[in-house]
Amino acid sequence: MLAQRVLTAAVLLALLVPALLAHQPWPFNVLTLLLIGAAGWEWGRLNQAGQQLSVSMGLALAAACGAALFSDWATAAPVWVWWCATAVWLCGGVLALQRGPVGWPRLARPARWLLGLLALWAAWLAMAQARGIGLNFIMSVFCLVWAADIAAYFGGRALGRRKLAPTISPGKSWEGVYSGVAGVFVLALVWSQVESGLAPQSTSLFVQLRTTLGIVGALLALALLAGMSVVGDLIESLVKRAAGAKDSSKLLPGHGGMLDRFDALLPVFPLSMALINL
């Protein structure tokens, strides 16, 4: 299993790194368009869409992303898109977590399908625009999510006492969430210091938040982003539990599916774009 996980990760990195480092943003946009289309297929399967309809949902999502790619929206989407996505994640996410795995199937299937596809489309659009801003910016968003996840894992294992959402993800704790936020604060401090000495072509999310919101506002924004990465993870876990599935699919041997890898990123990218446009 470990060798399988390592091999899959190596293949993904071999595709993702050159796409990220390409001089033009389109290789990254096209690659992630294909990945997000696969995630749309997974979303349909997890929400009782049936195989044929799930494939159609994935194709429709990829087509919607492609339409944005060949329009100005892939590089300069209206700010209201980010705020609408943020409102859906903040309000809908909290409501879904309150109702839990039992309450999720009570929502009409077409509503579940549409919500998921819109969330995936908004996340891809935000990633495309983030790549257009620059490599330093998009990597700072990626690393924020990864740092929150890693710090939450180790902090939760060492300090975890109070369960965060026992019916959804029994392993998560409030102490893990606090550790994740602290990890993001440390990352932001170190990244900003290194960035000031290197003067990269694009400004990171951390520096943009500090410039736009001030130090206190930036810390609050970073705490919110770290918290929303947890919400994204919990929402996918909730949907999988409601469907009785361990993974979103078997597309990535040893890792599960695309949604298993993207879940924490889905709310963070649109919210990041909203915050830097305040």
- pTM of the shown model: 0.94
| Residue spans per domain, the chain | 2-276
Confidence of residue 136 (pLDDT cuts 50, 70, 90): very high
Confidence of residue 3 (pLDDT cuts 50, 70, 90): low
Res. 11: pLDDT tops 90: no
- Per the DSSP assignment, residues forming a β-bridge with 169 are 165
The whole-angstrom separation of Cα 210 and Cα 218 is: 5
The DSSP code for 78 is -
Residue 149 in tokens: 């996840």
Dihedral of alpha carbons 31, 33, 36, 41, sign: negative
Q: Closest Cα partner for 34 from 251, 234, 197?
A: 251
> Alpha helices of 104-173 — where are they, by DSSP H?
109-133, 135-159
Mean pLDDT for the stretch of residues 82-100: 90
Contact 260, 227 (CB under 8 A): no
pLDDT per position as a tens digit, 28-67: 999 999 999 999 999 999 998 989 999 999 999 999 999 9
The whole-angstrom separation of Cα 9 and Cα 28 is: 17
